[in-house]
Amino acid sequence: MISASIISPTLRVSTPILLCALGGVYSERSGTGNITYEGSMLMATFTGVVGSYFTGSSIIGVLCALLGGVFTNIFYGVLRLQMGGDNVVCGFAINSFALGATTYLLRTLFKTSGTLSDPKIQGLHKISVPILKDIPVIKYFFTDQTLLVYIAFIMVFVTQLILKRTKFGMNIRACGENPMAATAVGINVTKNRWISITITGILCGLGGAQMSLGNLTQFSEDMVGGRGFIALAAVMLSNATPIGVMFTAVLFGFAEALANVLQLTSISSYLVLMIPYITVILILILQPDRIKEIKTKLKIHKNIAEA
């Protein structure tokens, strides 16, 4: 019972955070200082639901979610790379824009506010892996999960391989670590950063699709609820490493799944809902050296775009 109530929800809740954070790894490694994960996922959750609602297809819904995530990141790229805007200012501006735009479009297109829930919205199909679904304990990892859950964890190792073993990955890392040196050896820094931002948009789009079409089949105003910022924390705390991001995202997912279980007890619901965010704060407190590294990295991001 405990395994069923914790393991499966942990995977489902972790997946949007993990996908978004993996996208953030590309942006972080390329030196763009992208903090638009919250807005990107929110836009993707909305466009995914809109696509599914009007076409009756969850696949079209996922594609629309991808477009929403990519559009948001391209918007950021224009402000950051083309116009030289500050990454923090541009990031928070886009996050605010996404919240306002999705709220406005929800009320304009569907004449409703708060939540859009309709039978026309087709959710993602759940998949169970043969043989593995029959093994005790392990079965909870491979039973009734969406395809995006499996894709998310596969992408951890794909991203690790790309960054460590491919020319593209090495170029991305060079752009983030020393853009002037990268330019000197013929690497197009701006091009690689644009590619990284686009990949971030795609993965944030998949995260949004999992949230609104996988975990739920509805859209609610501000439904991301800070998970984009948790993804940002996962990127920072793991030093933008795919494996580190995975463990951090799963930890946050476990905290949220535990909070959902504890809501059924006599414990105050307000205290329970604080658990995922308290987890972030505790990790930061227990890793003071990482805070110093993050501060240094944020200072570097203020100047790195001009290189």
Segment 286-301, tens digit of pLDDT: 665 655 555 555 555 5
**Tokens representing 111?**
């004449």
Percent of the chain with pLDDT over 90: 56
pTM, full prediction: 0.88
Q: Are the C-beta atoms of 3 and 223 separated by less than 8 Å?
A: no
Comparison of pLDDT for 82 and 139, the residue scoring more: 82
* DSSP for 107-134, written as a single string: HHHHS--SEE--TT-PPPPEE--TTGGG
The full set of domain ranges for the chain reads: 6-264
The strand pairing partners of 220, in sequence order, are 115
Query: CA-CA distances (angstroms) from residue 134 to 65, 125, 147, 185?
Result: 33, 19, 18, 54
Q: Which residue has the tokens 């020319």?
A: 167
Give the pLDDT score at 149: 94
The residue among 39, 48, 78, 100 whose CA lies nearest residue 209 is 48
Mean pLDDT of the chain: 86
Give the pLDDT score at 85: 85
Our CA angle for 176, 177, 183, nearest 5°, is 75
pLDDT at residue 181 is higher than 70: yes
Give the pLDDT score at 193: 95
Domain 6-264: give its CATH architecture. Orthogonal Bundle (1.10)
* Average confidence (pLDDT) over 109-122: 91
pLDDT at residue 239 is higher than 90: no
Instruction: Give whichever of 89-98, 235-244, 280-289 has the largest mean pLDDT.
Output: 89-98
Where residue 128 falls (left for φ over 0; alpha for ψ -120 to 50; beta otherwise) is beta
Query: CA-CA distances (angstroms) from residue 81 to 36, 84, 161, 222?
Result: 14, 5, 27, 27
Entry field: residues in the chain:
307
* DSSP for 210-244, written as a single string: IIIIII-SSEETTTTTTHHHHHHHHHHHTTT-HHH
What is the C-alpha separation between 294 and 303, in angstroms, rounded? Answer: 15
Comparison of pLDDT for 38 and 237, the residue scoring more: 38
Give the pLDDT score at 88: 87
* Average confidence (pLDDT) over 156-183: 93
